[in-house]
Amino acid sequence: MTGGTLQTEFEFTLPQGYVDDDGTLHKEGRMRLATAADEIEPLQNPRVQSNSSYLTIVLLSRVVTELGDLETVDPNVIESLFVTDLEYLQVLYERVNNQGANAVETACPDCGEVFEVDAESGTHVTTDQTNGGIGSAGIDTEGVGAGGDIGGLGTNGAAGFEGSDMRTASTEPNDSEEAEPGNPAE
């Protein structure tokens, strides 16, 4: 085994943020990698058994370790998130647990070269062949959008999330809408 380290926690910033009972906005947080127990134990929860969509809530409440200055992140906090924040955390969960990194694949709009950027910071990432992990190359990517295809990470087959739980809106392109440059319509 090599001497590389495994990143098990990932920082994030919610698009909208959680507003607590006192009106305080909480946007900055941390999510850890999920364990087998994180995926199995929620299945025993009576709310999950009566409504499989609640699995998302329970699972995220287990892996989101920090959110602002809240003492705990429990299912009540996760179910009170705005939909955009819930979707953001679901996609983050998929990326870090399926790829082991919070990176998205994108392409240079000028030359078409495909590369990965850190979804949170926008820095260019490369695969470190010596330890098998992904490391920052320290390359300035100002002006490079991270909104490209996220490496085919859809909702089907993602650990812990059923396809119908993740997104109910159609992903088919609307003929009246044009695709944004750099984000090809699927």
Please tell me the pTM assigned to this model: 0.60
For 110-125, the pLDDT digits (tens) are 888 887 777 776 777 7
Q: What is the pLDDT of residue 126?
A: 65
Round to whole Å and give the CA distance between 89 and 150: 14
Round to whole Å and give the CA distance between 15 and 89: 10
Paired tokens of 27: 């946007």
Q: What is the pLDDT of residue 112?
A: 85
Q: What is the CA radius of gyration of the chain?
A: 18
Question: What residues in the chain have per-residue pLDDT under 70?
Answer: 1-3, 100-101, 121, 126-186
DSSP string, 81-140: S-HHHHHHHHHHHHHHHHHSS-EEEEE-TTT--EEEEETTT--EEEEETTTTEEEE----
For 151-175, the pLDDT digits (tens) are 333 333 334 444 333 333 333 444 4
Q: What is the pLDDT of residue 104?
A: 76
Q: What is the pLDDT of residue 127?
A: 53
